[in-house]
A and B are shown apart, each in its own frame.
With several copies, the nearest count.
Chain A
Amino acid sequence: MSVDEYDRVVVKIGGAKAVEPEGALADIASLVDGSARSADERSSGERSDPREEGVELVVVHGGSTAVDEALERMGMEPEYVETPSGVVGRFTDAETMDVFKMAMAGQVNTDLVTGLRNAGADAVGLSGVDGGLLTGARKSAVRVVEDGKRKIRRGDHSGRIGSVNAALLETLLADGYTPVASPPMLADGGVDGQSPSADGTESRYVAVNTDADRASAAVAGALGATLVSLTDVEGVYADPEDPNTRIERVTTPGEYEALTDAAEGFMSRKVMAATEALEGGAPEVVVASANADEPVRTALEGEGTHVL
């Protein structure tokens, strides 16, 4: 498929060190400004029509490495907890949440916006708090397993996205901006465990952590956009040991079952996010490598694992 056939794309990038964003940022900027050329045009030296419109593109990023680094610099230990089914996730108490905001919305987001502007895209950074971009219920209690004991941990700053302010993104896209969105999200349900505000009432909304893959899925679904989820591998492999077994295209229930069977570890999160994106309204999800010269373009043109 040619890039021209995609009008609207959400690109998920890691923000972690393992996923170098430089190539992705230049690629994103070239897709946005419409100077994009297809692979055929590139090989033939042909230039695309300069009047051609660019792709409407939204970037969603994570940055848990930056959060861990900031915690470490402040002498705090990142805390990961294991759920009864064995999934490991961050436990985010109030103090950790402050550092999360700093690293994610302050450093990673600002650096990506600056990088995209240097690459030529008119980027605007947003956290899920801005304009209520990503809102939903807070989950302050979580079931965990510690030393074989089942426990309930309370005070987690975490939430599940229930709605996306797509209108804010549409407004920015219509004006030619490239929104760059990230956690935190805005949770409704801050009362539990929150400090009262000056007037004695408790705050209803509170900024909390949410999974960046799911955030990208929610945004792609709300915008009806194709989701390109860049990661450090080239897609989902039927046999992770065999580079010739990349699953290229998933269109049938049988292929989907094979995909979920093949996805292990963090890749199973990508597949869960892909499912949520498709259920939410995204026409297609591509899981592909960030470590390519033009990772978004080549993903749209066929690299990676395409789920429809």
Chain B
Amino acid sequence: MVDCPECGAGVDLHDDLEVGEIVDCATCGAELEVIGEGPVDLDTAPELEEDWGE
């Protein structure tokens, strides 16, 4: 259980999380990016405009 960096509530984490993976905070709905795995560290996921590649 890690605290949501947005609202402070605990965020439920499934196993085998990978760095870069996005999880949702069940309390505030924020999208959170896994920025470390040992221990798990979360940060607000960046908004990224979708593009359509080369």
Contact = CB atoms under 8 A, between A and B. Distances in A.
B51 A142 contact: yes
Nearest to B33: A152
A151 B18 contact: yes
B20 A89 contact: no
B46 A141 contact: yes
Contact of A141 (B21, B31, B48, B53): B48
Contact of A88 (B18, B49, B53): B53
B16 to A, nearest CB: 10
Contact of A139 (B21, B31, B48): B48
A214 B51 CA distance: 11
A143 B54 contact: no
Interface in A266-296: 269, 272
Please report whether the interface of chain B is mostly helix, strand, loop or mixed according to DSSP: loop
Contact of B52 (A89, A151, A154): A89
A211 interface: yes
Interface string B41-52: 000011011111
Contacts, number: 63
Interface in A247-267: none
Interface string A144-163: 00000111111000101000
B22 A90 contact: no
A212 interface: yes
A150 B50 contact: no
B20 A211 contact: no
Contacts of B51: 83, 87, 89, 139, 142, 158, 160, 211
Nearest to A139: B51
Contacts of A87: 50-53
Interface string A168-183: 0000000000000001
17 contacts: A62-B54, A83-B51, A83-B52, A87-B50, A87-B53, A89-B53, A90-B53, A142-B48, A143-B45, A143-B50, A150-B21, A151-B18, A154-B20, A209-B54, A210-B54, A211-B51, A211-B53
Interface of A: 62, 64, 83-85, 87-90, 92, 139, 141-143, 149-154, 158, 160, 183, 209-212, 214, 269, 272
In the complex, the 6 A-B pairs of residues with the closest C-beta atoms, listed nearest first: A89-B53, A150-B22, A151-B20, A209-B54, A87-B52, A152-B20
Given A141-B46, A151-B22, A211-B51, 6 more contacts: A85-B50, A87-B53, A151-B20, A153-B20, A158-B51, A209-B54
